[in-house]
Amino acid sequence: MQTRKLGNSGLEVSALGLGCMRMSYNVNPVPDKQEMINFLHAAVDRGITFFDTAEVYGPFTNEELVGEALAPFRGKVVIGTKFGHDINADGSHGSSGQNSRPEHIKEVAEASLKRLRVDAIDLFYQHRGDPNVPIEDVAGAVKALIQAGKVKHFGLSEAGAQTIRRAHSVQPVAAIQSEYSLWWRTVEDEVLPTCEELGIGFVPYSPLGRGFLTGKVDENTIFDTTDIRNRLPRYTPEARKANVVVVDLLATIGKKKGATPAQIALAWLLAQKPWIVPIPGSRKLERLDENIGALTIELTPDDLLEINNAISKITVVGDRYPEDLKQTTGR
């Protein structure tokens, strides 16, 4: 398995990580726990060392699953988790949505340490910005946790460039996690240049467009009622029908390379910068193996130019989020 370093942090991980959210959250029916533990063990066997979870996934159940599954590999794997939501101890959501008050961050860290069964959290992201707490206070709280030996690295999710700079001035940021794929490239404008300047790694979530870029989703696909894609403008049947041109492009390149659309989508991301580590989510071994296969695909400068030229002529239909979800995404 190839490895990559997340910026200047010294944090080295497998070149492809694994998003764990849908192993126990936002999916119906919830997969069998033992099957997911076995799957996570298989991922480690294949060389995956970077796993992504969050307290809000469940809440709490995803961290518990990941903690139990990866306990035998302590010290050999890197687990990223997240704080920043207003969640009560019983798992119910509080009234404020976001909560990054320093005292709350400390409480979340202590609880996540127990659920993950680790002595220190490898990578602790602020999940979403809190308009009521200055980012300097957030960074300071995580800095204190790092000094106490309870956290190793600080990250931000869906943060804008200025927020990244302000946080980094207090506590060096190891990684930014935001959505990035061939059909959502907004981070290229300001966030990626900021990461490059400051020596920060970048972790794209939804690198396969929540499944759409695999070619396995079309306008006739019916999502379960719990699926967030039901709420996203980009995944209406009309938008999916229009956006199939993106998948067609990936398939065309894939035929030349003997690769699937998903593999080309991941290979394209990996080719952008050596400090980018995508975290596609998967729950089936055949999909995991397909994703890992992207690491063997080399896209030449001519391939990348062809892809960029083609995608520049395509207008992707549908917004990434509805208005009520945009306010927390650093846009």
Instruction: Yes or no: say if 191 and 185 are a contact pair by the CB < 8 Å rule.
Output: no
Q: Using H for helix, E for strand and C for coil, what is the string for the chain?
A: CCEEECECCCCEEECCCEECHHHCCCCCCCCCHHHHHHHHHHHHHCCCCEEECCCCCCCCHHHHHHHHHHHHHCCCCEEEEEECEEECCCCCEEEEEECCCHHHHHHHHHHHHHHHCCCCEEEEEECCCCCCCCHHHHHHHHHHHHHCCCEEEEEEECCCHHHHHHHHHHCCEEEEEEECECCECHHHCCHHHHHHHHCEEEEEECCCHHHHHHCCCCCCCCCCCCCHHHHCHHHCHHHHHHHHHHHHHHHHHHHHHCCCHHHHHHHHHHHHCCCECCCCECCCHHHHHHHHHHHHCCCCHHHHHHHHHHHHCCCCCCCCCCHHHHCCCCC
From the candidates 57, 125, 180, 235, give the one annotated as an active-site residue.
57
Give yes or no: 57 in active site: yes
The residues assigned a catalytic role are: 57
